[in-house]
Amino acid sequence: MKCRWLVVFFCLCQTGYLYSAIAFSHKIDKAFEALNKYNYFDARLYFEKSEKNYPCISNYGLSVIYFRTDNPFHNVDSAYRRIQSSIVAYQGPSKSEISKLLEYAIDGNKLQDTKIAIENLAFQKAVNLSDVTSLNHFLQIYNGSAGYNEALHKRDSIAFSFAKKENSSSGFHQFTVDYPDSYLYPEARLRYEKT
């Protein structure tokens, strides 16, 4: 009798697990359906609700929402955090998540392509603003991206132009303190010593 109850209990647990997996699976489907209809509010809600069971695909979907500019959730930094989380989760997805990744044609290449697109947009925004603060922000968050060296060079050039415009020893000294690894450091140091 005890054994029969254990079997029944085990079957109920498995059914509950199966029902839970199906319910979360439906949330992923609903999320992509909403995303395809540009219903970003529902898509975001469904992706967030399924993040625990489907971290790779949910974070990918959220990165797409944050990346797109046609919705109120657009935020390049959030898109970048989400795609990085998706890439990490892609290293060990569950069996149920693997089937959804295949269903929606999401693989390592697609994740990397999305990451690069986000990095490129962030780079363009920082360069277009063309100020030290925006470039520092890019350099801090997008370390290792393709535009990193160019952004670093541009940031140093802008900061050095401010120091030259000020043309004071304190301005050149501040540049050497703030940017000791800059390619313009030797020139700033020389001007500091001369003024």
Q: In which band, very low, low, confident or very high, does the pLDDT at 12 lie, cut at 50, 70 and 90? A: very low
pLDDT tens sequence across 89-144: 999 999 999 999 999 999 999 999 999 999 999 999 999 999 999 999 999 999 99
Average pLDDT, the chain: 90
Q: In which band, very low, low, confident or very high, does the pLDDT at 190 lie, cut at 50, 70 and 90? A: very high
Gap between the Cα atoms of 68 and 76, Å rounded: 9
Phi, psi of 54 (to 5 degrees): -130, 65
Gap between the Cα atoms of 13 and 120, Å rounded: 47
pLDDT for 19: 39
Q: In which band, very low, low, confident or very high, does the pLDDT at 25 lie, cut at 50, 70 and 90? A: low
Q: Is 130 helix (H, G, I), strand (E, B) or coil?
A: coil
Residue 158 near residue 135 (C-beta atoms within 8 A): yes
Single pTM value for the model: 0.83
pLDDT tens sequence across 48-94: 999 999 999 999 999 999 999 999 999 999 999 999 999 999 999 99
pLDDT for 26: 85
Count the alpha carbons within 13 Å of 185 in the hemisphere toward its beta carbon: 8
Comparing C-alpha atoms, which of 18, 44, 17 is closest to residue 31?
Answer: 44
Region at 107 (left for phi over 0; alpha for psi -120 to 50; beta for the rest):
beta
Place of tokens 């001369």: 194
pLDDT for 4: 55
Gap between the Cα atoms of 23 and 181, Å rounded: 53
For the chain, the helix, strand and coil percentages under 3-state DSSP, each to the nearest 5: 80, 0, 20
pLDDT for 111: 98
pLDDT tens sequence across 138-183: 999 999 999 999 999 999 999 999 999 999 999 999 999 999 999 9
Q: In which band, very low, low, confident or very high, does the pLDDT at 195 lie, cut at 50, 70 and 90? A: confident
